[in-house]
Amino acid sequence: MKLDYIHFIKERISHRSYAADPLSKEHRKSLELFLQEQTENPYNIPIRFNLIEKKDNQLFKLGTYGVIRGAQTFLVGSVISDGDDDALIAYGYSFEKVVIFAQSMGLGTCWLGGTFTRGNFAKAIHLDEFEIIPCVSPIGIPHEKRTLLEKAMRTAARSAKRKPWKEIFYLNNFDTPLMKEQAGDFAEALDMVQIAPSASNKQPWRIIYNPDKTCFHFYLHTLNGYAGNKLGFKIQKIDIGIAMFHFEAVAAQLGFQGEWHAADPKIFIPHYHDGENSYINTWTVTGS
């Protein structure tokens, strides 16, 4: 199925209040079929998805600490991971793909990384010994009226402005900011990375464009002492997976074929007072 990723990425926002109605049979069937097809990501690491109904798990009291209201269905993703590996990047990539598909059907979602009862969700999906559940998301029809908490959280999100291009995109090295006109036909793909969701809106992706080889090197800017990375897994690795999905999906929509390959270009990385950059992966054009 071909989606207008540019439209749905721009359109999607987080929803924290939902109509009390369960998913329709049509919505649930479409989601289940889509989840069965999610076998590919840049690392070929399997992600296990489950749709669970709150009414079927009363014993476990699936909770979200009051952040989510009215949701009857939850998307739960689990993966075998040590909490600091490529599996988390694959997880972010695959989970966001499902989130955008849900958006295309008019369903609301909200990434939750720390505000849910992880143990009860684990029981509900019969979590395997070496699996973890980094995130869950409610999934359903957004409520027409937002709660006061949701309005406050939306206001806080708007106040945390997006980082400008010059802080996250570069040309050939970290000393030269990438101007939008220099990105050419790839500017819109980078725009969709700029607006990607991330934990605490930290936007930890850094990308270096090499126009001679038509490739994009993705780096992760890990913040010193960031509380979000103390959940038992490095949540910012999930963020970089989300950015990778946005870039690849939009590049494909714009007519560019490419492939991921992890081969550190050994570009000099400056010292940063708030954290450090680490190389993640490279996307290279293979055709158009």
State mean pLDDT over 223-239.
90
DSSP 119-131: HHHHHHTT--TTE
State mean pLDDT over 273-281.
95
Label residue 147 by pLDDT band (50, 70, 90).
Answer: low
Q: In Å, how far from its chain's centre is CA 8?
A: 14
Q: Which amino acid is at 45?
A: I
pTM of the model: 0.93
**What tokens appear for 188 in the block?**
């819109």
Domain 5-148 has CATH 3.40.109.10: yes
Using DSSP's 3-state secondary structure scheme, residue 137 falls into strand
Instruction: Select, from the ranges 51-60, 61-70, 87-96, 158-167, the one with the highest average predicted confidence (pLDDT).
Output: 87-96
pLDDT tens digits, one per residue of 9-21 = 999 999 999 998 8
pLDDT of residue 230: 81
State mean pLDDT over 250-272.
96
pLDDT of residue 64: 83
Label residue 39 by pLDDT band (50, 70, 90).
Answer: confident
pLDDT tens digits, one per residue of 72-103 = 999 999 999 999 999 999 999 999 999 999 99
Residue given tokens 């992966």 in the structure block: 281
Query: Is 90 exceeded by the pLDDT of residue 156?
Result: no
Query: Is 60 exceeded by the pLDDT of residue 242?
Result: yes
Cα gap 171→182, rounded to integer Å:
8
**CATH 3.40.109.10 domain locations along the chain:** 5-148
pLDDT of residue 66: 81
pLDDT of residue 195: 97
Q: What is the mean pLDDT of the chain?
A: 92
Query: Is 80 exceeded by the pLDDT of residue 47?
Result: yes
18 DSSP assignment = B
pLDDT of residue 20: 87
For 199-228, give one letter per residue: b (16+ CB within 10 A) or e.
bbebbbbbbbbbeeebbbbbbbbbbeebeb
CA torsion 92→57→28→11, rounded to 10°? -50
DSSP 32-52: HHHHHT----TT----EEEEE
Query: Is 90 exceeded by the pLDDT of residue 56?
Result: no
More confident residue, 230 or 247: 247
Query: Is 60 exceeded by the pLDDT of residue 185?
Result: yes
pLDDT of residue 258: 97
Query: Is 70 exceeded by the pLDDT of residue 272?
Result: yes
Closest to 132 in 3D by CA, of 44, 223, 43, 238: 238
pLDDT of residue 1: 63
Q: Directed axis angle between helix 235-253 and helix 187-194, to 10°?
A: 150
What is the CATH architecture assignment of 160-287? 3-Layer(aba) Sandwich (3.40)
**CATH 3.40.109.30 domain locations along the chain:** 160-287
Where does the chain have alpha helices with state H? 5-11, 25-36, 86-104, 118-124, 148-159, 165-168, 180-183, 187-194, 235-253
Residue 14 has φ and ψ, to the nearest 5°, of -80, 135
29-38, 170-179, 238-247: lowest mean pLDDT where? 29-38
Label residue 155 by pLDDT band (50, 70, 90).
Answer: very low
pLDDT of residue 218: 98
